[in-house]
Structure 1
């Protein structure tokens, strides 16, 4: 029961559609702009760096808070604290990706996953962030940076000999990040994915969503 409560709390926190709400405050339906996603990347492209940065930080905070709120259930339970954190954190990512407030259409969970990693494994977060920065700076594809972060994450955690449950959830989150960017992979191969600072592609805009 306590794991369910932790997961429910995390899911509800993660389901808050930050990007949608920020854009709506400005009279914009972000779902009708750019890629149509509600995450920080699309907000950044359409509403500017201030709004995009705010959404990025708040989406990450949702993931971190989803983990930390699980700690409150420890006082009345003998549950494994690591599993509680994982339940709350991963549920917050699912809430972000499939928010019920927008008919279960949300973002891609990269920023929210980052917040979870900060709470669960700072080392894994730093290595994933480094992979993201290197790949993005070289290729100028935000989506490729997110994909590389998802690939590097479980490897970095495995090399650090973290507890097995943390390794498993990192494998799951890394896999989810790659799968969520499968359409971006196709556009990169086809040469249709827009780069940072470059013109938009012939097709739709980049669909990387934080």
Structure 2
């Protein structure tokens, strides 16, 4: 029964994650974001292509669906809890613990965002959605990671570098709170399953930024706020006109 609940949570979360916020926002304005900029449906490309307002809206939508997936996953686990009658009038409740329900929902939603079936499995990079699921699972960790992301972005003006550093900081933040954090309340982190999830989520973000890493090393990555490069055909000088040979 528990494995059926896990499958249900992952399936529902995956479908929620496949909602292409950036693409829907761009389509509402008569633009296909897949044909502009980096051709990615994520919030960064929406921001660069359509401006701050729409980029921020896409970021919030992707973050919200990650948070919502965790909330729904935990609720489904509680709803399908099973009570088993034991001898001598005792009962036992079989259920998927909230931590593991949140992990199942988080992974399903991130996979849905990164690899949406509706778009040929070509989705975003999962940064905003990952932040959303972490908000739902570990609120204090999400604040720490968002602060790291903001500091690196402020200092470097590279969105990709900020996302990579924040992702790699996630397992470290989880370990610190597991070992030294509060044991109860919104700031607490319970169970090493959250650490293993953090490692998987960080790895996924890192791998989705492979092309960005190559551009960072080559010095060709765009900084946040830099103008989009003009097509080479538009910037290339016109070839000199040849004079007819003298006769």
TM-score, normalised to structure 1, is: 0.93
**Structure 1 residues 180, 203: CA separation in 2 closer, same or farther (over 3 Å shift)?**
farther
Are 2:193 and 1:193 aligned?
Answer: no
Match for 2:79 among 61, 75, 78?
Answer: 75
Cα distance, 1:167–1:157 mapped onto 2, change above 3 Å: same
Q: TM-score, normalised by structure 2?
A: 0.79
Q: Which residue of 2 aligns with 1:55?
A: 58
User: Match for residue 174 of structure 1?
Assistant: 202
Question: Would the aligned equivalents of 1:67 and 1:88 in 2 still touch at CA under 8 Å?
Answer: yes
User: Structure 2 CA distance, aligned partners of 1:174 and 1:106?
Assistant: 17
Report the aligned-residue RMSD: 1.5
The alignment partner of 1:192 has SS state of coil
Structure 2 Cα separation of the partners of residues 126 and 80 of structure 1: 24
Partners of 1:127 and 1:152 within 8 A in 2: no
Asked whether 1:44 is paired with 2:72, we answer: no
SS for the counterpart of 1:131 is: helix
Unaligned runs of 5+ in 2: 82-94, 179-188, 233-247
Q: 1:153 to 1:180 in 2, by over 3 A?
A: same
Tell me the distance in 2 between the aligned counterparts of 1:50 and 1:201. 21
Seen in structure 2, the aligned counterparts of structure 1 residues 110 and 7 have a Cα distance that, compared at 3 Å, is same
* Unaligned residue ranges in structure 1 (runs of 5+): 205-210
Tell me which protein shows more helix as a share of its residues. Answer: 1
Q: Which residue of 2 aligns with 1:12?
A: 15
Q: State the structure with bigger RCO (CA 8 A, min sep 6), 1 or 2.
A: 1
CA distance in 1, matches of 2:80, 2:45: 42
The 5 Å alignment of 1:139-158 reads 139-158=156-175
In 1, the alpha carbon distance for the partners of 2:163 and 2:229 equals: 19
Describe the SS at the equivalent of 1:37: coil
- Per-residue deviation at 1:202? 8.6
* Among candidates 102, 107, 111, match of residue 94 of structure 1: 111
